[in-house]
Structure 1
Amino acid sequence: MRKGIVFLFLVLSLFACKEPFEPELSEANLRVLTVEGYLDTEGKPSELYLGYTRRIYGDNLGPGSTPAVGAEVFLESSEGNRYPLVDVGDGFYQFAQDIEEEGSYRLKILLEGEGYTSESLHPLISTPIEDIGFEKDERGVEVYITTKGSGTVEDFLWTFTETYAFSPKFVSPYIYRPETGEVDTRRPEETIYLCFRTLNSSDLILETSSNFDEGVIFKKPITRIIPGDERLSTRYSILVSQMALSPEAAEFWETMRKNTDDIGTIFSPMPSNITGNVSKDLDPSAPVIGFVSLGVIQERRMFIGVQEVSPWVNNLEAYYDCELDADTVSASGFEERFGTGVKFPAMAVFVESSIIGYRSALRRCVDCTLRGSNVKPDFWED
């Protein structure tokens, strides 16, 4: 979701004008607090992000926002009970408490001597995700979900997290040990030929169930994996989170989505025209961008194995120029070839049943931990 907010402050820098447009903005308006998050009320860890927008021209251009660190953030119930969020760094504040869904709350932020407060928040309970699946065609693999609205819930927002297993170009169980000067077989915790990588979605995926017969949102596309993508090279997992939105939250995020899609149009609402549900305590007219919501987040996880989408030809761009060295490195050359860590033993060379040496390759062609973790996630299913 942060992608949508930050994008608005970059739009003007993307115009293909002969002369750059430099709006007259005060320094205060160039550093606007952004607040976004959906906090789960059943205790599942969820996050709030606080950041400051960057200027849209001049120095310090670039995507993203500057994290707002060191804030004190808590939910306060109408009865005065406080539920603190934990600062986990880089502008993220984690909430993992089970609170009453029948209550009303306000988010409080104390940052750099200033206070910010949200409007009254009333938790919404999302209907369950009825189905999650995928379809393969000539354009790749599309992941979809099916869900249904209710009398109290019609607007939905989805986010997702992808985790996939992958291997480097050369799968090697060998390691050079400088302390002995020998090439040895790697211990299980030292394996570098199967890794896991996690990606978090920043897309805004929205839908309203009242747009469909009987309120059923059928096979809503969540993401598409194009042919050759590494994510389906071995095994893939996606965790989809479904959040119910109030009409006000749905309107806010739909406006943000339209701005994200509307590249280069001067008729898109600019940030000063977009209001959220957080304001500055001592100056309610000061710009604050973002929306915070509360509710029960519904989740579904799905796995896809490469055999389920076969044939799947992987275009592993990260390893496109990887090659094995032609020569065989014997014991007398181990230190010279492998001692610097630039080259790794990639393939054993046998004569009859005995290893006489190894062919080598660049580390990045052998060691998957340069791009992921060799620790299998707790949720992973083989």
Structure 2
Amino acid sequence: MHKRLFHITFLILLTNMLSGCVESFDAATEDFESVLVIDALITNEVKHQEINLSRTFRFEEEKAGSESNALVKVVDDMQNEFIFEENNPGQYVSVSMFAAQPNVNYQLSITTSEGSIYESTPEVLPKNTPIDDLYASMETNDQNVEGVAILVDTYDPEGESQYYRFDYEETYKIVAPFWNPLELIIENEERLFIRPVPRAQEEQVCYNTVNSVNIILGDTSGFSEDRLNRFEVRFLARDNYIIGHRYSILVRQYVISREAHIYYETLNEFSGLESIFSENQPGFFNGNISPKNDSKEKVVGFFDVSSVDEKRIFFDHKDFFPEDLVPAFPFDCPITTPTGIEFINGVRFETTEYWANHSPEDASEGFFKVVPRICGDCTVLGSNIVPDFWIE
């Protein structure tokens, strides 16, 4: 599910919470209105476009409920109709691959299983403006923290873009600090004979990929030219472990409409925790999607038609801080010598990893030294499959 859903869901919960007078807090939600949440974005990329539908949920519930069995389609003013089918609960993917085209109006239409109909206003694809440059720079942020800033330069000489949104996908290398080429196995269950053997798979070097969660907006409407220079999309502290070895980031730049920019900007304001206690308490606001059966019904979401460009960069920690040691592993890695059932269960349930044999003088404490699995097996934190795009 798209990251924007977090902000949208938070908005509805916040709206419900602030809608009444201040009273003693009750963990259970008594008055609750189920509102459809629509996360819809189509771009100028030729692909299976995706739309996500869910419902707001009570504070005491763990997650949003999906909106299933809906009829979802996008139509344009060229009489084309793009049908979306439900792949997973609440996730609707276009049956055919398509890309939004310039100078064409697109409109989203949704009919729920209960017969409620929702439609967006017609939206047109903004001008496609490519990223001029994506680069990393050693910087000190406003909190006086040294680190690496991920910066974007972009420029539209015709001045037509003006409103931008960014997201990113970061991938980093993980090296298990207490990896050993051997692992412990129980060779004989009856006798509980345990011995070290060569590892069956790669568990020293892994990779993890994480998507951004914040709404990152750029606006040049008040500038003398349509240019973003050294626009920061990510800051990584010098001691952040994810840049300890090799790091890559894929940044996507979306050119969006003014209306979309206002919508995302409002979401950013609502999702700030300080707004809960603000005297200027926000109310419900609409996007560009409205109900057709009942004009008083609430719906949250924005049908976004955006042009997108992307770039990727790689760097190593030593490229910026050659004198530094690798940033500290973010988990404790005590070396222990368990015995008895503690040792057997650690091997059987794979909660520990072999580190070394004891020397004869301390063998009485236990024959094997072990560490927590997370310290000796990188697959706890990532995948041992090298990403297709990875470059060393």
- Name the TM tier (shorter chain): 0.7 to 0.9
1:194 aligns with 2:193: no
Match of 2:353 in 1: 344
In 2, are the aligned partners of 1:175 and 1:184 still within 8 Å (CA)? yes
How many angstroms apart in 2 are the aligned matches of 1:14 and 1:208? 30
How many angstroms apart in 2 are the aligned matches of 1:278 and 1:234? 45
Question: What amino acid does structure 1 have at the position aligned with 2:328?
Answer: N
Q: What value does the CA root-mean-square deviation take over the aligned residues?
A: 3.3
Question: What amino acid does structure 2 have at the position aligned with 1:151?
Answer: G
Match of 1:242 in 2: 253
In 2, are the aligned partners of 1:165 and 1:234 still within 8 Å (CA)? yes
1:132 aligns with 2:145: no
Match of 1:60 in 2: 60
How far did 1:116 drift?
A: 1.8
Match of 1:105 in 2: 106
Stretch deviating more after TM superposition (68-77 or 229-238) = 68-77
Distance change (3 Å), C-alpha of 1:339 and 1:206: closer
How far did 1:90 drift?
A: 5.3
How many angstroms apart in 2 are the aligned matches of 1:265 and 1:304? 41
How many angstroms apart in 1 are the aligned matches of 2:168 and 2:35? 27
Match of 1:159 among 159, 167, 172: 167
How many angstroms apart in 1 are the aligned matches of 2:268 and 2:325? 32
Match of 1:185 in 2: 198
Distance change (3 Å), C-alpha of 1:10 and 1:288: closer
Deviations 1:274-301 (A, max 9, x none): 1111122312331111111123311111
Which blocks of at least 5 consecutive residues in structure 2 are unaligned? 189-193, 361-366
In 2, are the aligned partners of 1:33 and 1:289 still within 8 Å (CA)? yes
Question: What amino acid does structure 1 have at the position aligned with 2:271?
Answer: T
1:195 aligned counterpart, secondary structure: strand
How many angstroms apart in 2 are the aligned matches of 1:185 and 1:14? 59
In 2, are the aligned partners of 1:34 and 1:53 still within 8 Å (CA)? yes
Match of 1:173 in 2: 181
Q: Give the TM-score taking structure 2 as reference length.
A: 0.80
How far did 1:220 drift?
A: 0.8
In 2, are the aligned partners of 1:126 and 1:242 still within 8 Å (CA)? no
In 2, are the aligned partners of 1:306 and 1:312 still within 8 Å (CA)? no
How far did 1:308 drift?
A: 1.4
Match of 2:388 in 1: 378
Question: What amino acid does structure 2 have at the position aligned with 1:162?
Answer: E
How far did 1:132 drift?
A: 0.9
Query: How do residues 283-298 of structure 1 correspond to structure 2 at under 5 angstroms?
Result: 283-298=294-309
Deviations 1:176-231 (A, max 9, x none): 455686532224xx111222212111211112223333221111111111232121
How many angstroms apart in 2 are the aligned matches of 1:314 and 1:308? 14
Distance change (3 Å), C-alpha of 1:67 and 1:136: farther
How many angstroms apart in 2 are the aligned matches of 1:14 and 1:238? 38
How far did 1:2 drift?
A: 2.4
How many angstroms apart in 1 are the aligned matches of 2:60 and 2:99? 41
How far did 1:248 drift?
A: 1.4
Deviations 1:285-320 (A, max 9, x none): 311111111233111111121221322652333x22
How many angstroms apart in 2 are the aligned matches of 1:312 and 1:35? 46
How many angstroms apart in 2 are the aligned matches of 1:280 and 1:253? 20
Deviations 1:112-162 (A, max 9, x none): 322222111212233001111122235222111111234332111111111
In 1, are the aligned partners of 2:38 and 2:52 still within 8 Å (CA)? yes
How many angstroms apart in 2 are the aligned matches of 1:103 and 1:280? 23
After the TM superposition, which segments of 4 or more aligned residues of structure 1 sit over 4 Å from their partners?
12-15, 177-182, 326-329, 334-337, 348-351
Stretch deviating more after TM superposition (305-314 or 155-164) = 305-314
Query: How do residues 256-267 of structure 1 correspond to structure 2 at under 5 angstroms?
Result: 256-261=267-272, 262-263=274-275, 264-267=277-280
Distance change (3 Å), C-alpha of 1:167 and 1:41: same
